[in-house]
Amino acid sequence: MTSPHMMRFLAPNPTTKMADSDSEEDYMKMTFTDAPSSTSIPAETSLQRRLRLRREAEQRSRPKSKAELAEEETARREAALSKPLLDTTTSSNSASQKSKSKGLAMMAKMGFTGGALGRKYEDGKGGDDRVTEPIRVVVKDGREGIGLESERKRKLREAAEAAGEAAKKARVDEEGYRERVRREREEARLERQVNAAQKVAERMDDEEAVGGEGKGVSSRPLRSVPVVYRALVKGREEAERERRMRHDLEQASLSRLPVYDGGDEDEDDKRALGKEPAHSTKYVTADDLDDEDPELDDFNALPLEERLGKIVQYLRDKHRYCFWCKFAYPDAEMDGCPGLTEEDHD
């Protein structure tokens, strides 16, 4: 039999039961009240602190290089230049502001009351180009003399402009190129036609002069040759004179070479073997070949179309010959010829 005291001891305590249930619930939730935070910085140990102090001491004791000193100097200069010397935006007329800024105090003594420097045009004719801040300092870090950089920039700009102009001129329009090629081909074709017409006129005049035997007189003066083909005769005689002079020069140089003289050759054999210089070649050219010819110069100055027209008209008037038909008509009316120009014969 269980005693009441034992029963009270065995009876469950409601407080203990609630505490057990709470601890069990906390365990199931996996919550830790004293968990360390992930963002917290761990405390520096004595060893880490000693190493840090040693590194800082070494950095302070190490002398700075020229590059580092220059960089610090540049940073200090930029910081000083970035501060406005005449900052009058807030309380510019106050004594405290003037006392802080030596530049502002100096300007105030010279009558500067704040704002921009320069003359202000009240009528509005001139633009407001007054200076609102001091001229900034531009540090020159090169070794060039004063003004050399601007001169170099000017030359580069001029070279770029010249290159642009040259490129613009080099770009030829397609239509312009075609027109130029067409004009050159047309001029070459007209020159060939003028030369052919001059040869026909000279041949027909020579045939008429010698009675149809086809042998002309080559020694006649140039002034007696019709101007329509006088340039052809003059050019041919100049080329012939040049050729013969070159031939005589070659023969004279060959005759001065040493040769063996056996004594058995006669005069004809020596001349044939080149041992005895032959008589110089004599040729006849027009007496006025080197004279000035204003009439010929005026004719050659005419356009090709006009020169060709004059030669064609000369053939029709003198020989009743049509250059385009390639036919000599029996009468002066030239019945059957469609016209004077090449287009009439198309």
pLDDT tens digits for range 166-196 = 877 777 676 778 888 999 999 999 999 999 9
Residue 279 pLDDT more than 50? no
CB crowding 77-112: b at 16 or more within 10 Å, else e:
eeeeeeeeebbbeeebeeeebbeebeebeebbeeeb
Look at the block and give the residue holding tokens 């963002």: 39
Q: What is the dihedral of CA 118, 123, 129, 130, to 10 degrees?
A: 20
For the stretch 301-328, pLDDT in tens is 999 999 999 999 999 999 999 999 988 9
Residue 25: both structure tokens together: 């619930």
* Whole-number CA gyration radius for the chain: 57
pLDDT of the residue at 13: 54
From first CA to last CA, the distance across the chain in angstroms is: 155
pLDDT of the residue at 255: 60
Residue 1 pLDDT more than 60? no
Phi, psi dihedrals of residue 328, rounded to the nearest 5°:
-95, 115
When the pLDDT of each residue in the chain is averaged and rounded to a whole number, the result is 76
| Rounded average pLDDT over 71-76 | 90
Least-confidence region, from 87-91, 227-231, 342-346: 87-91
pLDDT of the residue at 54: 93
Phi, psi dihedrals of residue 140, rounded to the nearest 5°:
-95, 115
Query: d(Cα 118, Cα 288) in Å, to the nearest integer?
Result: 84
Residue 12 pLDDT more than 60? no
Residue 75 pLDDT more than 60? yes
Q: CB neighbours (10 Å) of residue 321?
A: 20
| Rounded average pLDDT over 270-279 | 56
Residue 336 pLDDT more than 90? no
Identity at 279, one-letter amino acid code:
H
Confidence of residue 219 (pLDDT cuts 50, 70, 90): low
Contacts of residue 200, Cβ cutoff 8 Å, sequence gap at least 6: 315, 321, 323
Residue 289 and residue 235 in contact, taking contact as beta carbons nearer than 8 Å? no
Q: What is the pTM of this model?
A: 0.44
Q: Tell me the β-bridge partners of 322.
A: 327
pLDDT of the residue at 270: 64
For the stretch 29-61, pLDDT in tens is 555 555 555 566 788 899 999 999 999 999 888
CA distances from 345 to 99, 142, 328, 341, 342 (A): 105, 79, 15, 7, 5
Tell which phi-psi region holds residue 293, choosing left (phi > 0), alpha (psi between -120 and 50) or beta: beta
Angle between helices 174-209 and 230-255 (to 10 degrees): 80
Residue 71: both structure tokens together: 């960089």
Q: Tell me the β-bridge partners of 117.
A: 131
Q: Above pLDDT 70, what percent of the chain?
A: 67
Residue 208: both structure tokens together: 């008429």
